[in-house]
Amino acid sequence: MSRWKKIWQGFKNLWVYYRGWKWLIFLGMSLALMMSTYLVIIAKTTSVETLQDGLMNQTTVYDVYDEKAGTLWAQKGTYVTLDQISPQMRETLVSTEDKRFYEHNGFDTIGIGRAFVSLLLKRDLSGGGGSTITQQLTKNAFLTLDQTFQRKFKELFLALEVEKHYTKDEILEMYLNNAYFGNGVWGVEDASMKYFGHSAVYLDWNESMVLTATLNGPSIFNPIDDYEVAIERRNAIAEYLASEGIISQEDSAYIQSSAIELYDAYIQTEQGHEYPSYFDAVINEAVSLTNIPESDLLSKGYQIYTNLEPSAQQMLNASYDNNSWIFGDDGTGTPLVQSASAIVDPDTGGVMAVYGGRGDYNYRGFNRATDMYRSPGSTIKPLAIYVSALEAGYNIHSAVPDVVQSYGSNNYTPENYDLYTDPSGEVELYYALAQSKNTSAVYLMNELGINRSVQKLKQFGINVPQADQTLTLALGALQTGVTPVQLASAYATFANEGVRIESYFIRRIEDSSGKVVYNNEKPARHMVMTKNVAADMTSMMLDSYSGYGTGYGAGPDWGQIAGKTGSTEVSEGNMETRDKWMVGYTPDFVIVTWVGLDEIGEESLDDLMPSGMGTLFNIQTTNLMSVSEQTPFDVTYASQMNETTNILQTTSWSDDWQEAFSENLDLAREKAGELWQSTKEVTVDLINKGSEWLETIDLPF
């Protein structure tokens, strides 16, 4: 090829190269123009005059019947004007969150650039960061919850429009009045009252820094939930303000050496519901199982569908509110006898109702129904010992020793509660359970093996740490403890014919557009025992509340209920009662009630409430019977079955094996059906997501 041809070919290649780039540049500019036009149209057509209304979007909670049960929050706090907020608070917020707030027109190009660099360095595809106060206000009022580039651009254009309709001071005022500060508190005025006991106009530099730090993580940075972290965040802000010349180095050092003086003078306004313990548990479960921040959960218009059974919950509340005399007090004083209850639907595993504790209610405070772990006492015996005994070949009339004897190298010697009439020498299995014989329980665990009990408890959803894997486990010596909800979930397995479903509050969550963001409509099911074993266990536990059992008189005034009672001692060698438990179930419900003291002091539970546990449980179960379907048991009391009858009803090991195989096969078929349905749903979801991805280009055609 001649030199001129080479030059000509090179020129053509260069032309093709740059022409291609020109087309790419043209196409990119065209797309940018169309997207900008689209976003401008969105901004212009959005009614920013209704900004305040957009900030008041409530989340609604529905009961098991899909009827509205209430809202998570009725209002967003006490509104104050900007001149009712201290200058220190305003200065701290603006300087740390958006220091060019009074200079930009809705978005900060420098801040966006910094966030973009951070995005590239951290490879964070969310596109988060760089938001101004105006953008944050806009996001809370108008936009969806996903943090993507598409939403970020909408946020930016809407912020420009908001800045045209409101002054900077009006924007700052709305932001401070609608910000979430943790512990169920919205707005700077209520936050100031909650954490410091005075109005926002009196906030000093120290307090202002604490509140500003809380905004970046209301659930984890507030001084009530994590004082040390709040100190660290405050100190970081103090150093920054000093470096910016807003406060002196001396003031910064003084603030960093100061404590955070907390004082709660916040008076909670009327809530949007009448079930505080249940709604708190719903919030906790939603926050722990999803990526939804608490502030968004409370204010973004979610629809949360739960297992709440209103009649059961109202009955449970009334059993405490109307019967303080049972506890020997008026619901006040120190120490206060505490109590908690949980009701579970055995067919679904859904939590129907909970009561979290007596005394003053605190938003998302300590919920004893879900958060309190206590040793279960003798309520552990059916779960850890008697199921395994039946599976090992015992029947309800099998003879077991009731003799005081020592075990192991440490000579562990269990005794029965009633030392005057016990031991009896030998008793039938059902009687040992009904009378809660400690001697028989430890004997059976020793014979069957501790590990067998540990593994069976694991099937019931109760993990036993290595340190507790001793014979004392037979009497409920479980240091990690159980919660009332957890215990109710375990006992629901008996009522559900041997199949366990882990208990839960939320069935599904939808966002404000109706999109399902969390779904637990079909929880996992696990076979723990055969139907025959479950039936024999129920037959034996019916006697717990009959004339043979430790719960005699505590059951309902009419109808049958099976279950178990239990109690724990303060410590080894201290026979005073620490906890009292009662568990009852029918085919329709499982109820667990605990009574005890939060802390053991000079006065014990025996001193403060020598009786009354049975009365409380009698009221609860009687009322619960009246609002349930009253489905009868298909078994009778073990004490009313003679040995011959029981032997005829007791199946051989081959029958049990066939039954277990059949039930596991049924569960496998159910799982396969669910897997097939899930596969179809995932496939459809992928197709829909592909369509949604194309829509996110946001072209105006």
The first and second tokens of residue 418, run together, are 């009633």
CA dihedral 364, 368, 369, 371 (to 10 degrees): 70
Let me know: does 436 contact 565? Beta carbons within 8 Å.
Answer: yes
Alpha helices in 46-70 (DSSP H): 51-54
Determine the Cα–Cα distance for residues 427 and 416; give it in Å rounded to an integer: 13
Picking from 359, 430, 438, 389, the residue whose alpha carbon sits closest to that of residue 597 is 359
Tokens representing 534? 């479950």
Q: Are 248 and 273 contacting, i.e. CB atoms less than 8 angstroms apart?
A: no
Distances (CA, A) of 469 to 413, 438, 545, 661: 16, 17, 30, 30
Altogether, the residues listed in the chain come to a count of 701
Secondary structure string (H, E, C) spanning 567-616: EEEEECCEEEEEEEEEEEECCCCEEEEEEECCCCCCCCHHHHCCCCHHHH
Residue 40 in tokens: 């401008």
Picking from 302, 51, 63, the residue whose alpha carbon sits closest to that of residue 177 is 51
Rounded CA separation 590/85 (Å): 51
Whether the Cβ atoms of residue 548 and residue 431 lie closer than 8 Å to each other: yes
Neighbours of 351 (CB within 10 A): 30
> Torsion over CA of 615, 325, 314 and 625, rounded to 10 degrees?
20
Catalytic, 378? Answer yes
Contacts of 269 (CB under 8 A, 6+ apart): 74, 75
Cα–Cα–Cα angle for 439, 444, 449, rounded to 5 degrees: 130
Q: Which two tokens stand for residue 244?
A: 């910016």
Tell me which residue of 465, 462, 477, 470 sits closest to 569, measured CA to CA: 477
Q: Which of 91, 95, 97, 569 is catalytic?
A: 97
Out of 277, 295, 339, 378, pick the active-site residue: 378
User: What single-letter DSSP state applies at residue 101?
Assistant: T
CB contact set of 535 (below 8 Å; sequence gap of 6+): 497, 634, 635
Residue 447 designated active-site: no
Q: Left (φ > 0), alpha (ψ -120 to 50) or beta: where does 253 sit?
A: alpha
Contact 94, 305 (CB under 8 A): no
Which residues are catalytically annotated? 97, 378
